[in-house]
A and B are shown apart, each in its own frame.
Chain A
């Protein structure tokens, strides 16, 4: 009877693409829920770890085939991608595309090559991998994603990868035992401040078995927070203070170096 129920659930899941009444429980935790950016911040990394608990004997048997994908998505940003072209013998920014509300940081960590984990259709639906992530562009008055081989899209991803803000790591998740895993999330020096969403998904035989969500935030603290806050909230005063600081520094130097 129980097997039948699982079989029915599996059939339902195949139809729906995801397994709702899953036989696996996914428990995850991250090493820090807050990354503090202070004046000596030069990048860091946080660790995601977790365990997959198979509840049924059937589930236990397929434990060896678990695949895991963790997607870390940073605060949304609007970014312009420009292309230089030769105009009258001069290289200048000619064409451009505006990417609206795209993740400023995107890490796709998996334990194997992403196409091997699930069907292309399912991966696209779950937005796993750069090719499947929706990167909406401003097209006239509308906003929409374009073909995957669009040069602006490809170069946007390439430049973000160069900055260390986008990454697709196929050995980013390590299974310590067939059910216990860990993954390092590298945060480079230029990591944007804001909220980060972590979505972890377990797959077996091309189906999603379980999903867990988590989050962390990157915040400025102390002096950094004070300066950024003052610049943002009291722009005029901040500007006047900076100008006075400039004049004072100049005056101090001219007094200190005075010869007569």
Chain B
């Protein structure tokens, strides 16, 4: 770590790596998923859109959208935390325009979601926590909320197969 590295270079490196990770997935772009970064802490944001509605009467966000959003949050959090060391040391520099520069994504083995509240027609936020990350397998827990951080609308646990090499 270079204490005197210019701040804009630090931020630029981290933000462009994160952008590369997210923009490489068409479905994530289509849903409109964004990531808010504070140091290495990520918060996924899903801005509300009419196409996310699953129950037009209530109205409520589609449960499948919540599931997809949480699965993406888990994958990005896991990839991000796995590549952090290599990114900071300069061993890799992911670039959205150079597909081969992107790290290979973990593969989902299983995904279990609990629905706790019906999703309001508002933005959704989520954070993932890598509970265990081994050489081959990883376990990630994810939480989603809307207006109140303490009132989760859903939580999920997922297992992943880590990319080889």
Q: Do A and B bind each other?
A: no
